[in-house]
Structure 1
Amino acid sequence: MKKIKFTVVIGASKEKVWNVLWNDDTYQKWTSVFSEGSKAVSDWKEGSKIHFLDANNNGMFSMIDKRVENEIMNFKHIGNVKDGVEQPLDAATEIWSGSMENYALSETDGITTLKTEMDIIEDYQDFFNEKFPLALDLVKKMAEE
């Protein structure tokens, strides 16, 4: 498992950046970079499950490991979802089950720094190194509007 990190500086309050990240409408816009029709299904509370899905209701299920309003959102990825149904763990899934995806926001004088950190298997490193900066550019653009 590898850890990749990205940072973006945004000319907006951390509250505005937080809303862009986790509001259903804007979440779907910035995550469309990864897969058109992306969505998240959750109550967004710490300890709750969350389904990260594509347009066909396939994706993965995770747990919101830590949530501090306007500051921290950490996901612990668990397994796959197929046709909207959580799948039992198999050998391929167990390789990445338990991996983390973390978001941290800090603000100084109305400028927010968004730091992201994600555990990934090597097969997906090139994909995320290409797509994640594009997604964060969309977050920045929407937050600065």
Structure 2
Amino acid sequence: MEQLHFTIRIDAPVHAVWSTMLDASTYRDWTRAFHEGSHYVGSWAEGSTIRFLAPGEDASHSGLVATVVENRLDEFISLEIHGAVSRGIDDTTSAHARRFAGAHEDYSFSESDGVTTLVVAVDTDEEFTAMFAADWPRALARLAELAEERAATAD
């Protein structure tokens, strides 16, 4: 597995970025860059299981199942992937699922003068490197738009 890093500066306070990233409705919006219909089921609370899902061809959902290892409000989130979700069922034992097991996704947030820097570190199988290299910047650009809109309407 290799680790990819993506960084974006967003013209919005850190809490606006944090809440935009994690809110269920805005999450669906910014993660469309990966797959239309992407969403999560579960909680971002530390120790919780969370599933990242997208609709499949047969109306079932597929994706990844993870644990929220750490969650420090407006600072840091760390996820550990345990396996896949296939046709709506958690799969941690198949060869496909084991490819993802142990991977981490970490999100670090910092703010200076009302501008938030978000750093994303993602462990990935080399099969997905090119896809992530294209999709993450688009997803983060959309997240920035949404967070900046949220911050502007909060003033």
Q: Deviations over 1:19-77 (max 9, x none)?
A: 11000000000111101001101122101100000023111100001100111111101
TM-score, length-scaled by structure 1: 0.96
**1:93 partnered with 2:74:** no
Q: Which runs of 5+ in 2 are unaligned?
A: 150-155
SS in 2 for 1:116: strand
Runs of 4+ aligned residues of structure 1 deviating over 4 Å after TM superposition are none
Partner residue, 1:20: 20
CA drift at 1:87: 1.6
Correspondence for 1:11? 11
Following superposition, the deviation at residue 124 of structure 1 comes to 0.3
User: How far apart are the structure 2 equivalents of 1:95 and 1:8?
Assistant: 28
- Distance in 1 (alpha carbons) for counterparts of 2:92 and 2:130: 27
Matched, 1:48 2:52: no
1:138 maps to 142
What SS class does the counterpart of residue 68 from structure 2 fall into?
A: strand
Q: Percent identity?
A: 33
Deviation at 1:88, TM superposition (A): 3.7
Query: 111-120 or 56-65: which moved more?
Result: 56-65
